[in-house]
A and B are shown apart, each in its own frame.
Chain A
Amino acid sequence: MMASIHRLKTLLVKELLSYLRDPRTRLILIGPPLIQLLVFSFAVTLEVRNVDIAVLDRDTGRQGVELVEHLDAAAFTSTVRVVQSGEELEALIDERKVLLGVSVPEDFSRKIVNGDTVSLQLLLDGRRANAAQVSSSYVASVASAYSQQIGTQTQRTGILVRHWFNPNLLYAWFIVPSLSGVLALLMAMLVTALSIARERELGTFEQLLVSPFSATEIIIGKSLPAVLIGAVLGTVMVLAGVLIFRVPFTGNPVLLAITLPLFILSGVGIGLSVSAISTTQQQAILGAFAIIVPVVLTSGFATPVENMPQWLQWVSVVNPLRWYLVIVQGLFLKSLPAAEVFRNLLPLMCIAVVSLSVAAVIVRRKLE
């Protein structure tokens, strides 16, 4: 037992040194994930800005002009073009000059004055469905705000929306905690996927196999350093989220400290299995990417799991990232209680145990 612990220590030191001794490798481990975090967090956003719209005002009354002014003043618009005919409006959309057109009917002012309900026509560019959809809701909110303003006369009340946990709907609050998981998992999986494959390519794996290391020792020796690297990376990114992006961390940090290594461990098991099957580093990298892409897509990172078809929801149950995202988002924004954290930690533990066992079986079979 003592001998085994001692051998294990030697193996761990060797693995860590092979990651950290070379300054370039060190830089690759830490640099790109952090840059990606910064770039994605600033650049990737579902908000729509700088939209060009066109307005066909058939009314020319005071209220119609005021509405156009409100639209022009809104944060999401870049230019508002006033057009004179329906054909002109269509042409602008057709040529992608504008994303959407607002058509104000002839009786707009009159109906408002009379206290009747008025309607606006929106023409959206379906080729840019997502942005158009978002912008149309912005237009709707501008219109509703305007109707609030003149509401004293019309006695109409609009709906007042308040977003809990993220009142200003700051996109970074959502994306930064999630990205910490995605990037840490990606890095940990790549590092482990390459580990055995690299040794096999260089011929050092045989040297390892003829020495008294057991399969279990090799697996632990390969897993722990990757877990350490992934957990450190994840922690750095969470800290960046709190300190640079000012995302509020409302939960208990200890709960995250328990979750993060377990989450990385479940990814390491997958990476190790890939590595044991691959004979070259190229295969290992391709294998790791073949897994990481569906892992990210079915995790709920980009689209909510609830929106997926039922079978895909079943598939996502074995996805460690799915459970981690629930925990990390919860701990950041809504102070997720410990009981809830452990409820989501359980599947994570199961995935780690299963994937590491699979890796152990594969490595042991390769040993024989």
Chain B
Amino acid sequence: MSSELLGRAAACEAAMAVDIRGVVKRFKGVTAIEHLDAGIWPGQLTGLVGPDGAGKTTLMRIMAALMRPDTGTVSVMGHNVLDATALVHRCIGYMPQRFGLYEDLSVAENLDLYAKLKGIAADKRVDVFDRLYEFTRLQPFASRPAGQLSGGMKQKLGLACALMGSPDVLLLDEPSVGVDPVSRQELWRMVQALASEGMAVVWATAYLDEAERCESVMLLDKGSLLFNGEPQGLTSRLQGRSYRLSHIQGDRRALLSKALGLADVRDGVIQGASVRLVRAADMDVSSMQLLADQSGGQLELVAPRFEDAFIDLLGGGPDGRSAIAERMEDVATQRDVMVECSHLSKRFGDFYATRDVSFSVKTGEVFGLLGPNGAGKSTTFRMLCGLLRPTEGCATVAGFDLVRSTGQAKSQLGYMAQKFSLYGLLSVRQNLDFFSGAYGLRGAHRRQRIEEMIETFQLGDVLNVSPEALPLGYRQRLALACSLMHRPSVLFLDEPTSGVDPVTRREFWMHISGLVQKGVTVMVTTHFMEEAEYCDRIALVQQGQLVRLDTPDALKAMVASDELPEPTMEQAFIRLVEAHRDGVDA
């Protein structure tokens, strides 16, 4: 990125770009920001992290002078947000979670609109656009309507629009939600380039691997700043407490729940065939070692991650129990294969979104469907749960053909989407009533199931509230409750924890792990590689075709090399996608 575009040199290195002092913000008595002091420096990439409802977006909006703090002051490049709003707006570029792109306008028209809004002179626009096109590589798509861009390209266009007018401070609110790892990496590179040019960049995120790569991190929880500084500063506190338990004999999910039940295990997640554990600060390793020995596994100390420290700071992970899974009966089936597709193709006009995809999913397996934006993974997923009719080939769920025996197949599956498709106009109770009735539950049986869900997911206090008024964690629980009411033997999860904070995500996967132990088969599609680690097998879809099908560990091993002996799932994904793309191009 050329410095002319941004027009900012690192001249005022010493001055703070954003100075936040004593900021308090309350909404109807609920504290969103509690007495916050912080500084954001030019030329730095600052990560803003915290669980859902921590106050990240509120802080962003105060910095962008879109919202006034109750008390305290914020100055942006020396301008006070309280009285110099117009000046603040001039030196800020803000990209909210749902960026205001006009979906019916083309890429070029969107850029043009934002240039006009930012008051860029007509004779300079061509120049600015050329540089932004070069920077974002969106030139080939200039005439495409923004609504038809992939998730990654939309975010790049949003970034380009936010960069209009050469801001000194760039505020990005969760720019990487719904973006595949390849595009995410590209977005990341762009933002780093901007920071190195002297811009102050704030990147709010729920993905802690991103926070780890920021130069500075602000960790918010319930409106308070729990940590502010270099991420290593927080991560290093966990030195000597992170372990990996590998070569496990038997079920790693059961092992994880057992481990999380121990008082000296602070946190734990599944990573492929292994389990990652964090030891509580004042405990020794003996009981973890005992558990490892019992399972025939191998316990080794590994370098801590920012996420370990984050969870530790927020009070540790879940206790490993899933109330709903404990209540469920084992899935009664003699079948080995629960979901199967053969030669599945979907054609839109001349374009094959999915081409000749075949695989089968075993009963009780967690099966991930991964791929870059627009690669056909959603199309495949939608055909498997009956939302799309295949052009060729067939798909079965629990032995029922999705086209010929639609009703029977559908009654075997539960579905939960990223947006938690609940009815906002109905109360929590009415939502439960509706979904139980939709799957044919009746009478006493239906009442008993609903009561059971209310009890296990602790929904008793919110029965008359609209789901929209509930915090994210509650909504997710309710969505899961609604999709489990009819005891499906297959659960379809469409980006279930995209944009969800690590605490809520752990709770969710605890339930899923519990269900899998009861024999439920889980199909999951995601862009989020932490989630992919929970899968038993992963199908990588690219350009409509199935290019890889293996365990997470095997996929990681495929790309391991001397300079990268232990690749993460994300690195594995990026390399496999790029390798395939290059292979096809060559």
Contact = CB atoms under 8 A, between A and B. Distances in A.
A189 B143 CA distance: 36
A210 B419 contact: no
Given A14-B434, A18-B426, A210 B440 contact: no
Chain A contact surface mostly: helix
Contacts of A7: 437-438, 440
A121 interface: no
Given A202-B421, A203-B419, A210-B410, A6 B426 contact: no
Interface residues of A, number: 26
Nearest to B408: A212
Interface stretch (B21-29, B386-394, B501-509): B386-394
A6 B424 CA distance: 23
B442 interface: yes
Contact of B407 (A14, A203, A207, A214): A214
Contacts of B387: 206, 209-210
B410 A212 contact: yes
Nearest to A208: B438
A211 interface: yes
Given A6-B440, A9-B437, A14 B410 contact: no
A22 B425 contact: yes
Given A3-B440, A9-B437, A10-B437, A212 B415 contact: no
Contact of A210 (B413, B425, B434): B413
Candidate in B387, B419, B437, B492 with the most chain A CB atoms within 10 angstroms: B437
Contact of B439 (A9, A14, A211, A368): A211
A10 B443 CA distance: 12
A208 B424 CA distance: 14
Interface in A11-44: 11, 13-14, 17-18, 21-22, 25
A190 to B, nearest CB: 16
Interface in B428-464: 430, 433-435, 437-440, 442
A10 B433 contact: yes
A25 B423 CA distance: 15
Contacts of B438: 7, 10-11, 208, 211-213
B427 interface: yes
B192 interface: no
Candidate in A10, A204, A211, A214 with the most chain B CB atoms within 10 angstroms: A211
Contact of B417 (A3, A10, A203, A214): A203
A210 B385 contact: yes
Interface in B395-411: 406-407, 410-411
Given A7-B440, A10-B433, A209 B386 contact: yes
Interface in A167-218: 202-204, 206-214
B386 A210 contact: yes
A17 B407 contact: no
B440 A21 contact: no
Given A22-B425, A204-B421, A214-B407, A6 B386 contact: no
B386 A206 contact: no
B434 A13 contact: yes
B413 A10 contact: no
B261 to A, nearest CB: 34
Contact of B430 (A3, A17, A203, A210): A17
Candidate in A3, A11, A204 with the most chain B CB atoms within 10 angstroms: A204
Candidate in B386, B430, B433, B438 with the most chain A CB atoms within 10 angstroms: B438
Nearest to B434: A14
A232 to B, nearest CB: 19
Given A9-B437, A13-B433, A14-B423, A212 B411 contact: yes
B423 A18 contact: yes
A348 to B, nearest CB: 32
Given A17-B430, A209-B387, A214-B407, A25 B417 contact: no
Contact of A207 (B389, B421, B433, B437): B421
Nearest to A280: B103
29 contacts: A3-B440, A6-B440, A7-B437, A7-B438, A10-B433, A10-B438, A11-B434, A11-B437, A13-B433, A18-B426, A21-B426, A22-B425, A202-B419, A202-B421, A206-B421, A207-B417, A207-B421, A209-B387, A210-B385, A210-B410, A210-B413, A210-B415, A210-B492, A211-B435, A212-B407, A212-B439, A212-B440, A213-B438, A368-B388
Which 3 residue pairs spanning A and B have beta carbons closest together? A10-B437, A368-B389, A207-B421
Interface of A: 3, 6-7, 9-11, 13-14, 17-18, 21-22, 25, 202-204, 206-214, 368
